[in-house]
Amino acid sequence: MFRLAHLSDPHLGPMPDASFRDLVSKRVIGYVNWHRSRARSMTASWLDLLLDDLKAQSPDHVTVTGDLVNIALDVEISAARHWLDDLGLPDDLTVVPGNHDAYVPGALRRAVHAWGPYMTGDLPLQDGFPFVRRRGNVALVGASSARASGPWFATGRLGSGQSRRLRDHLGRLGEEGAFRVLLIHHPPQSGATSWNKRLTDASRVRAAVKRAGCELVLHGHTHLATRTEIEGPNGPVPVIGVPSASNGPGRKRPAARYNLFSISGEPGNWHCEMEERGLPASAGRDDPAKVGFIARHTLKIPG
């Protein structure tokens, strides 16, 4: 059995000081939004409680599906690398970027450089996205939907080249009999977000999965606990979203949570159980005992 943990959207804080030059861009919107709202709802104390519980579960591998930072300042990107180093070794932790990690032009390149060991494939010649990491009979396929977008937009896009490579990777891994887990920040299902936050070429992702197959899709971005499906060649493929890993209880969005997947079986007869763990709505700030089991689901895996 392989135990895979999934968290997303930690939006690591607190927000560092920013110069006037830093804020002469879309960043000023995110800077104001942080201080008006997220500084109170997304704190390191909630995230630390969540991670203490995650580490206690001793998963075989941890995945983070983007939005590590807020407005992609250089100091944020550097601090996020230290956070990743504390969370786990690159062999045990896989990351894909989110739209906040690509908040302004050039930010994504700096983030990929800083976090590279956590978003690099197993093959020496493999470069860029999507990358593939094999862990036993589980294959992690990391795609990047992160793109710099205009003010008041949080859209994502893979592009035709990455979508084509995604289809090829999924097809090859399917032939090898791997349990394929697609990691992506933006949800690929239709109508998952508002128009200004959507994955603009989600149809390409759905087409790749429909043609080549996939066993599980994990995403972030919405800050919601969701279980939906997209079409695969052998039946519906589960698509799982998770709340922000740092969000406090009593807010509009669900409190901090992560999902733990237990994967077993073989091609055509896979089994996957999903356990939601985190803070219930009534959790107390200084009560780590409140972090724990929320719900368990058996996912129907196509085969």
What are the tens digits of pLDDT across the range 233-282? 999 999 999 999 999 888 888 999 999 999 999 999 999 999 999 998 76
pLDDT digits (tens, 9 = 90+) for 87-132: 999 999 999 999 999 999 999 999 999 999 999 998 755 668 999 9
Show the DSSP H helices in 58-187 as ranges: 74-87, 107-114, 160-175
What band does 289 get if pLDDT is binned at 50, 70 and 90? Answer: very low
- The reported pLDDT for the residue numbered 288 is 46
**DSSP per-residue string spanning 4-58:** EEEEB----SSPPP--HHHHTTTHHHHHHHIIIIIHHHB-HHHHHHHHHHHHHH-
If you search the block for the tokens 């990691």, which residue do you land on?
183
- What is the pTM for the complete model shown? 0.94
To 10 degrees, the CA torsion angle through 88, 94, 100, 101?
80
Domain at 2-299: CATH architecture:
4-Layer Sandwich (3.60)
* CA angle (193, 217, 146) in 5-degree steps: 55
CB 237 within 8 A of CB 216: yes
Residue type, 210: K
pLDDT in tens, 151-186: 999 999 999 999 999 999 999 999 999 999 999 999
For the chain, give every domain's residue range. Answer: 2-299
| Residue 33, pLDDT score | 76
